[in-house]
Protein backbone atom coordinates (compact mmCIF):
# COMPACT_ATOMS: atom_id res chain seq x y z
CA UNK A 1 0.00 0.00 0.00
CA UNK A 2 1.35 3.45 -0.91
CA UNK A 3 2.19 6.11 1.65
CA UNK A 4 0.03 9.13 2.19
CA UNK A 5 1.09 12.21 0.28
CA UNK A 6 2.87 14.83 2.43
CA UNK A 7 0.63 17.60 1.07
CA UNK A 8 -2.48 15.68 2.08
CA UNK A 9 -1.14 15.12 5.60
CA UNK A 10 -0.32 18.83 5.92
CA UNK A 11 -3.88 19.71 4.88
CA UNK A 12 -5.31 17.38 7.52
CA UNK A 13 -3.08 18.82 10.23
CA UNK A 14 -4.13 22.35 9.22
CA UNK A 15 -7.82 21.66 9.83
CA UNK A 16 -9.28 23.67 12.70
CA UNK A 17 -8.69 21.56 15.83
CA UNK A 18 -11.90 22.66 17.55
CA UNK A 19 -13.97 22.03 14.45
CA UNK A 20 -12.50 18.51 14.22
CA UNK A 21 -13.35 17.95 17.89
CA UNK A 22 -16.90 19.15 17.29
CA UNK A 23 -17.35 16.77 14.33
CA UNK A 24 -16.05 13.92 16.43
CA UNK A 25 -18.69 14.62 19.08
CA UNK A 26 -16.63 16.33 21.77
CA UNK A 27 -18.91 18.66 23.73
CA UNK A 28 -17.20 22.02 23.51
CA UNK A 29 -17.92 24.72 26.12
CA UNK A 30 -18.61 28.30 25.25
CA UNK A 31 -15.66 30.63 24.93
CA UNK A 32 -12.18 29.37 25.61
CA UNK A 33 -12.95 27.00 28.48
CA UNK A 34 -11.78 23.41 28.63
CA UNK A 35 -13.96 20.52 27.49
CA UNK A 36 -14.55 17.28 29.35
CA UNK A 37 -11.97 14.70 28.28
CA UNK A 38 -13.32 11.77 26.29
CA UNK A 39 -10.61 9.41 27.57
CA UNK A 40 -12.86 7.56 30.01
CA UNK A 41 -10.25 4.94 30.86
CA UNK A 42 -8.09 7.64 32.46
CA UNK A 43 -10.94 9.40 34.27
CA UNK A 44 -12.55 6.84 36.53
CA UNK A 45 -15.28 9.20 37.73
CA UNK A 46 -15.54 11.28 34.59
CA UNK A 47 -13.76 14.51 33.83
CA UNK A 48 -16.10 16.61 35.98
CA UNK A 49 -14.23 19.92 35.81
CA UNK A 50 -13.08 19.80 32.20
CA UNK A 51 -9.39 19.14 31.51
CA UNK A 52 -9.31 19.00 27.71
CA UNK A 53 -7.85 22.20 26.29
CA UNK A 54 -7.51 23.41 22.70
CA UNK A 55 -4.75 25.78 21.57
CA UNK A 56 -5.98 27.52 18.42
CA UNK A 57 -2.55 29.08 17.82
CA UNK A 58 -0.69 25.78 17.61
CA UNK A 59 -3.80 23.86 16.49
CA UNK A 60 -3.20 21.19 19.13
CA UNK A 61 -5.17 19.65 21.98
CA UNK A 62 -4.10 18.44 25.40
CA UNK A 63 -5.77 16.93 28.47
CA UNK A 64 -4.09 18.42 31.51
CA UNK A 65 -5.13 15.44 33.64
CA UNK A 66 -4.45 12.29 31.63
CA UNK A 67 -1.86 13.84 29.30
CA UNK A 68 -3.17 12.84 25.87
CA UNK A 69 -2.23 15.48 23.31
CA UNK A 70 -1.38 16.15 19.69
CA UNK A 71 -2.63 17.55 16.41
CA UNK A 72 -5.86 16.94 14.48
CA UNK A 73 -4.80 13.48 13.31
CA UNK A 74 -3.78 12.46 16.82
CA UNK A 75 -7.14 13.69 18.12
CA UNK A 76 -9.02 11.45 15.71
CA UNK A 77 -6.72 8.54 16.54
CA UNK A 78 -7.41 8.93 20.27
CA UNK A 79 -11.15 9.56 19.97
CA UNK A 80 -11.95 6.87 17.40
CA UNK A 81 -9.23 4.48 18.61
CA UNK A 82 -7.83 3.99 15.13
CA UNK A 83 -4.33 4.02 13.66
CA UNK A 84 -2.72 6.91 11.77
CA UNK A 85 -4.10 5.93 8.36
CA UNK A 86 -7.57 5.28 9.79
CA UNK A 87 -7.60 8.78 11.29
CA UNK A 88 -6.51 10.32 7.98
CA UNK A 89 -9.24 8.46 6.12
CA UNK A 90 -11.86 9.66 8.62
CA UNK A 91 -10.75 13.26 8.14
CA UNK A 92 -10.72 13.15 4.34
CA UNK A 93 -14.19 11.61 4.34
CA UNK A 94 -15.50 14.17 6.84
CA UNK A 95 -14.11 17.17 4.98
CA UNK A 96 -14.27 15.92 1.40
CA UNK A 97 -10.52 16.12 0.88
CA UNK A 98 -8.92 14.00 -1.83
CA UNK A 99 -6.70 11.32 -0.32
CA UNK A 100 -3.48 11.38 -2.35
CA UNK A 101 -0.76 8.76 -1.99
CA UNK A 102 2.77 8.34 -3.26
CA UNK A 103 5.41 5.69 -3.50
CA UNK A 104 8.31 6.11 -1.02
CA UNK A 105 11.28 8.02 -2.37
CA UNK A 106 14.85 7.98 -1.13
CA UNK A 107 16.88 11.13 -0.74
CA UNK A 108 20.34 10.10 -1.91
CA UNK A 109 22.39 13.26 -1.79
CA UNK A 110 25.85 12.40 -3.07
CA UNK A 111 27.65 15.74 -3.02
CA UNK A 112 29.16 16.66 0.35
CA UNK A 113 30.38 20.15 1.12
CA UNK A 114 34.12 19.63 0.62
CA UNK A 115 35.45 22.81 2.21
CA UNK A 116 38.89 23.27 3.80
CA UNK A 117 40.57 20.64 1.62
CA UNK A 118 44.14 21.85 2.24
CA UNK A 119 44.37 20.70 5.85
CA UNK A 120 42.33 17.69 6.99
CA UNK A 121 42.18 18.69 10.66
CA UNK A 122 42.64 21.85 12.67
CA UNK A 123 43.89 20.04 15.78
CA UNK A 124 45.99 17.15 14.50
CA UNK A 125 48.07 17.19 17.70
CA UNK A 126 45.20 15.68 19.68
CA UNK A 127 46.28 12.11 20.37
CA UNK A 128 44.06 9.41 18.91
CA UNK A 129 42.78 6.81 21.34
CA UNK A 130 42.84 4.22 18.59
CA UNK A 131 45.84 2.12 17.57
CA UNK A 132 46.54 1.24 13.97
CA UNK A 133 45.69 -2.41 14.62
CA UNK A 134 42.01 -1.66 15.44
CA UNK A 135 42.34 -3.91 18.47
CA UNK A 136 43.26 -1.34 21.08
CA UNK A 137 40.83 1.54 21.71
CA UNK A 138 41.96 3.39 24.82
CA UNK A 139 39.42 5.15 27.00
CA UNK A 140 39.93 7.17 30.16
CA UNK A 141 38.22 5.67 33.22
CA UNK A 142 37.36 2.49 31.28
CA UNK A 143 37.79 0.32 34.37
CA UNK A 144 35.23 2.35 36.33
CA UNK A 145 32.69 2.35 33.49
CA UNK A 146 33.09 -1.41 33.22
CA UNK A 147 32.57 -1.78 36.97
CA UNK A 148 29.48 0.43 36.85
CA UNK A 149 28.05 -1.62 34.01
CA UNK A 150 28.78 -4.86 35.86
CA UNK A 151 26.75 -3.52 38.80
CA UNK A 152 23.81 -2.55 36.62
CA UNK A 153 20.52 -4.46 36.68
CA UNK A 154 18.61 -6.43 34.08
CA UNK A 155 16.31 -4.23 31.96
CA UNK A 156 13.25 -3.11 33.88
CA UNK A 157 9.71 -3.53 32.58
CA UNK A 158 9.75 0.19 31.76
CA UNK A 159 12.86 -0.21 29.58
CA UNK A 160 11.47 -3.30 27.84
CA UNK A 161 8.17 -1.57 27.06
CA UNK A 162 9.97 1.55 25.80
CA UNK A 163 12.24 -0.60 23.63
CA UNK A 164 9.26 -2.38 22.10
CA UNK A 165 7.44 0.92 21.55
CA UNK A 166 10.37 2.08 19.42
CA UNK A 167 9.88 -0.95 17.18
CA UNK A 168 13.05 -2.72 18.33
CA UNK A 169 13.18 -6.51 18.67
CA UNK A 170 13.79 -7.88 22.16
CA UNK A 171 16.81 -9.79 20.83
CA UNK A 172 18.44 -6.46 19.99
CA UNK A 173 18.03 -5.32 23.60
CA UNK A 174 20.24 -8.24 24.58
CA UNK A 175 22.66 -7.67 21.71
CA UNK A 176 23.16 -3.97 22.47
CA UNK A 177 23.29 -4.55 26.22
CA UNK A 178 21.15 -1.68 27.48
CA UNK A 179 20.46 -2.14 31.19
CA UNK A 180 19.01 -0.27 34.17
CA UNK A 181 20.68 1.58 37.03
CA UNK A 182 19.65 3.74 39.99
CA UNK A 183 21.36 5.99 42.54
CA UNK A 184 21.99 2.86 44.63
CA UNK A 185 24.15 1.52 41.77
CA UNK A 186 26.52 4.47 42.17
CA UNK A 187 26.53 3.99 45.93
CA UNK A 188 27.59 0.37 45.43
CA UNK A 189 30.39 1.62 43.20
CA UNK A 190 31.57 3.91 46.02
CA UNK A 191 32.29 0.81 48.08
CA UNK A 192 35.04 -0.08 45.60
CA UNK A 193 36.22 3.34 44.40
CA UNK A 194 36.72 6.43 46.52
CA UNK A 195 34.84 9.65 45.86
CA UNK A 196 37.66 11.54 44.06
CA UNK A 197 38.05 8.63 41.63
CA UNK A 198 34.34 8.64 40.75
CA UNK A 199 34.44 12.41 40.52
CA UNK A 200 37.30 12.21 38.02
CA UNK A 201 35.25 9.74 35.98
CA UNK A 202 32.39 12.25 35.86
CA UNK A 203 29.91 10.06 37.74
CA UNK A 204 29.49 12.27 40.82
CA UNK A 205 29.62 16.00 41.43
CA UNK A 206 32.33 18.30 42.72
CA UNK A 207 30.93 18.63 46.22
CA UNK A 208 30.62 15.43 48.23
CA UNK A 209 28.12 17.15 50.51
CA UNK A 210 25.75 17.44 47.54
CA UNK A 211 26.11 13.82 46.50
CA UNK A 212 22.43 12.96 47.01
CA UNK A 213 21.37 15.91 44.89
CA UNK A 214 23.73 14.87 42.09
CA UNK A 215 22.55 11.26 42.25
CA UNK A 216 19.01 12.33 41.37
CA UNK A 217 20.13 12.37 37.74
CA UNK A 218 20.10 8.57 37.93
CA UNK A 219 16.43 8.61 38.88
CA UNK A 220 15.50 10.21 35.56
CA UNK A 221 18.35 8.94 33.36
CA UNK A 222 18.23 5.41 34.68
CA UNK A 223 19.18 3.44 31.57
CA UNK A 224 22.87 2.74 30.99
CA UNK A 225 24.02 2.53 27.37
CA UNK A 226 27.36 0.70 26.97
CA UNK A 227 29.92 1.60 24.31
CA UNK A 228 31.70 -1.66 23.52
CA UNK A 229 35.23 -2.37 22.34
CA UNK A 230 35.87 -4.92 19.58
CA UNK A 231 34.86 -8.43 20.56
CA UNK A 232 37.47 -10.75 19.03
CA UNK A 233 39.65 -10.78 22.12
CA UNK A 234 38.06 -8.53 24.71
CA UNK A 235 34.57 -10.04 25.02
CA UNK A 236 32.54 -6.83 25.03
CA UNK A 237 34.77 -4.63 27.16
CA UNK A 238 32.86 -1.45 28.06
CA UNK A 239 34.85 1.63 27.01
CA UNK A 240 32.33 4.35 27.78
CA UNK A 241 28.74 4.80 28.93
CA UNK A 242 25.88 7.22 28.51
CA UNK A 243 22.66 7.47 30.49
CA UNK A 244 19.26 7.63 28.80
CA UNK A 245 15.94 9.05 30.01
CA UNK A 246 12.85 7.20 28.81
CA UNK A 247 10.46 10.01 29.74
CA UNK A 248 9.97 12.06 26.57
CA UNK A 249 9.33 15.15 28.71
CA UNK A 250 12.94 15.21 29.89
CA UNK A 251 14.72 18.11 28.22
CA UNK A 252 17.92 16.08 27.75
CA UNK A 253 17.47 12.54 26.44
CA UNK A 254 21.03 11.56 27.26
CA UNK A 255 23.56 12.43 29.92
CA UNK A 256 27.22 11.49 29.69
CA UNK A 257 29.87 11.37 32.41
CA UNK A 258 30.85 14.95 33.16
CA UNK A 259 33.92 15.86 31.15
CA UNK A 260 33.93 12.52 29.34
CA UNK A 261 34.61 12.17 25.63
CA UNK A 262 32.52 9.48 23.87
CA UNK A 263 34.18 6.85 21.74
CA UNK A 264 32.57 5.41 18.59
CA UNK A 265 29.27 3.76 19.50
CA UNK A 266 29.19 0.31 17.96
CA UNK A 267 32.97 0.13 17.65
CA UNK A 268 32.66 -3.66 17.90
CA UNK A 269 30.41 -3.58 14.84
CA UNK A 270 32.78 -1.24 13.00
CA UNK A 271 35.63 -3.68 13.56
CA UNK A 272 33.46 -6.52 12.33
CA UNK A 273 32.65 -4.57 9.16
CA UNK A 274 36.29 -3.61 8.58
CA UNK A 275 37.47 -7.19 9.01
CA UNK A 276 34.78 -8.84 6.86
CA UNK A 277 34.32 -6.21 4.11
CA UNK A 278 32.85 -6.48 1.47
CA UNK A 279 30.25 -8.61 3.28
CA UNK A 280 28.27 -6.56 4.17
CA UNK A 281 29.34 -4.03 1.56
CA UNK A 282 27.91 -0.87 3.18
CA UNK A 283 28.51 0.81 6.52
CA UNK A 284 25.80 2.90 8.21
CA UNK A 285 26.79 5.90 10.35
CA UNK A 286 24.19 7.73 12.46
CA UNK A 287 23.99 10.65 14.88
CA UNK A 288 22.51 8.66 17.77
CA UNK A 289 22.51 5.19 19.29
CA UNK A 290 18.83 4.64 18.59
CA UNK A 291 19.15 5.56 14.89
CA UNK A 292 21.85 2.92 14.50
CA UNK A 293 19.66 0.35 16.23
CA UNK A 294 16.70 1.34 14.04
CA UNK A 295 18.55 0.66 10.78
CA UNK A 296 19.73 -2.67 12.19
CA UNK A 297 16.12 -3.56 13.03
CA UNK A 298 14.89 -2.58 9.57
CA UNK A 299 17.56 -4.75 7.93
CA UNK A 300 16.71 -7.73 10.14
CA UNK A 301 13.07 -7.48 9.12
CA UNK A 302 14.19 -7.83 5.50
CA UNK A 303 16.45 -10.78 6.29
CA UNK A 304 19.59 -8.70 5.78
CA UNK A 305 22.63 -7.98 7.94
CA UNK A 306 24.14 -4.51 8.27
CA UNK A 307 26.74 -2.91 10.49
CA UNK A 308 25.71 0.43 11.99
CA UNK A 309 27.65 2.77 14.25
CA UNK A 310 26.93 6.16 15.83
CA UNK A 311 29.00 9.28 16.46
CA UNK A 312 27.33 10.81 19.49
CA UNK A 313 27.88 13.71 21.82
CA UNK A 314 27.55 16.67 19.49
CA UNK A 315 30.35 15.67 17.12
CA UNK A 316 29.36 18.08 14.35
CA UNK A 317 32.76 19.05 13.01
CA UNK A 318 35.06 17.20 10.65
CA UNK A 319 37.87 18.22 13.00
CA UNK A 320 36.54 16.33 16.03
CA UNK A 321 38.50 13.53 17.65
CA UNK A 322 35.93 10.79 17.15
CA UNK A 323 35.69 11.51 13.42
CA UNK A 324 39.45 11.36 13.07
CA UNK A 325 39.34 8.02 14.85
CA UNK A 326 36.68 6.79 12.45
CA UNK A 327 38.90 7.73 9.51
CA UNK A 328 41.83 5.91 11.13
CA UNK A 329 39.74 2.80 11.79
CA UNK A 330 38.63 2.35 8.17
CA UNK A 331 41.57 3.82 6.29
CA UNK A 332 42.52 0.39 4.95
CA UNK A 333 39.08 -0.30 3.46
CA UNK A 334 38.46 -0.11 -0.29
CA UNK A 335 37.77 3.58 -0.90
CA UNK A 336 34.87 2.64 -3.16
CA UNK A 337 32.94 1.26 -0.21
CA UNK A 338 29.40 2.53 0.26
CA UNK A 339 29.06 4.72 3.37
CA UNK A 340 25.44 5.48 4.28
CA UNK A 341 25.22 8.50 6.59
CA UNK A 342 21.86 8.49 8.40
CA UNK A 343 20.68 11.99 9.27
CA UNK A 344 17.54 13.72 10.47
CA UNK A 345 15.74 15.99 8.03
CA UNK A 346 16.99 19.22 9.58
CA UNK A 347 19.96 21.58 9.58
CA UNK A 348 21.73 19.58 12.28
CA UNK A 349 21.45 16.52 10.08
CA UNK A 350 22.93 18.41 7.14
CA UNK A 351 25.84 19.55 9.30
CA UNK A 352 26.46 16.02 10.50
CA UNK A 353 26.42 14.65 6.97
CA UNK A 354 28.89 17.27 5.74
CA UNK A 355 31.23 16.64 8.68
CA UNK A 356 31.34 12.87 8.15
CA UNK A 357 31.45 13.04 4.35
CA UNK A 358 34.19 15.68 4.34
CA UNK A 359 36.33 13.69 6.79
CA UNK A 360 36.07 10.50 4.75
CA UNK A 361 36.63 12.35 1.47
CA UNK A 362 39.87 13.80 2.83
CA UNK A 363 41.25 10.34 3.52
CA UNK A 364 40.39 9.12 0.03
CA UNK A 365 36.82 7.79 0.00
CA UNK A 366 34.81 8.27 -3.19
CA UNK A 367 32.36 11.17 -2.64
CA UNK A 368 29.81 9.46 -4.91
CA UNK A 369 29.63 6.63 -2.38
CA UNK A 370 29.09 8.92 0.64
CA UNK A 371 25.29 8.77 0.73
CA UNK A 372 22.95 10.91 2.80
CA UNK A 373 20.64 8.02 3.74
CA UNK A 374 17.07 9.17 4.33
CA UNK A 375 15.03 6.35 2.84
CA UNK A 376 11.72 7.18 4.48
CA UNK A 377 8.76 9.43 3.81
CA UNK A 378 9.62 13.13 3.73
CA UNK A 379 6.88 13.89 6.27
CA UNK A 380 8.94 12.08 8.92
CA UNK A 381 11.94 13.65 10.59
CA UNK A 382 14.10 10.61 11.27
CA UNK A 383 14.49 6.87 10.94
CA UNK A 384 13.07 6.33 14.43
CA UNK A 385 9.76 7.90 13.43
CA UNK A 386 9.82 5.78 10.27
CA UNK A 387 10.22 2.56 12.24
CA UNK A 388 7.45 3.51 14.67
CA UNK A 389 5.17 4.37 11.75
CA UNK A 390 5.83 0.95 10.25
CA UNK A 391 4.69 -0.60 13.50
CA UNK A 392 1.48 1.45 13.41
CA UNK A 393 0.88 0.87 9.70
CA UNK A 394 2.73 -2.32 8.71
CA UNK A 395 1.39 -2.19 5.15
CA UNK A 396 2.53 1.37 4.42
Neighbour-count burial of 206, counting CB atoms closer than 10 A to its CB (0-12 exposed, 13-18 middle, 19+ buried): exposed
Q: Are strands 307-310 and 282-286 parallel, antiparallel or unpaired?
A: parallel
Look at the pTM and tell me if it is higher than 0.75: no
Kindly provide the residue ranges of all beta strands, DSSP E only, lying in the chain, ordered along the sequence.
3-4, 52-55, 60-63, 69-70, 101-102, 107-109, 179-180, 223-228, 238-244, 254-255, 282-286, 307-310, 338-342, 370-374
As a whole number of angstroms, the distance between CA 193 and CA 61 comes to 50
Coil, helix or strand at residue 370? strand
**Closest among 104, 69, 105, 71 to 88, alpha carbons compared:** 71
As a whole number of angstroms, the distance between CA 239 and CA 387 comes to 29
Q: Give the mean pLDDT per block of 10 residues along the chain (396 residues).
A: 68 91 87 82 70 89 86 90 84 80 49 46 67 77 95 96 94 95 94 94 88 90 93 74 91 88 92 86 93 94 90 73 89 88 89 90 89 86 87 60
Residues whose CB falls within 8 Å of the CB of residue 143, separated by 6 or more in sequence, listed in order: none
Per-residue pLDDT, 46: 65
Domain 3-102: CATH superfamily is Zinc finger, CHC2-typedomain (3.90.580.10)
Q: Where are the domains of the chain?
A: 3-102, 107-137+263-396
Per-residue pLDDT, 112: 53
Amino acid sequence: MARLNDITIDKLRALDIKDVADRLGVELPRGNGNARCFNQEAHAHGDRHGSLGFNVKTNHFKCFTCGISGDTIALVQAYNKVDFRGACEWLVNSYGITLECEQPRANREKTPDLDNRKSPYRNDNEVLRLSSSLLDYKSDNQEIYQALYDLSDEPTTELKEWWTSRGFSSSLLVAYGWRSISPSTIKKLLKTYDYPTLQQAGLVGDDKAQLEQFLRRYNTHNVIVPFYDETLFNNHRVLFVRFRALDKNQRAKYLAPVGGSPVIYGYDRLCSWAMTYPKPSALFISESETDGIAVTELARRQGKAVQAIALVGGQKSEHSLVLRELAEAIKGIDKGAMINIITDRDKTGDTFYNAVATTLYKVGFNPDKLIKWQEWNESLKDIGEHLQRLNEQPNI
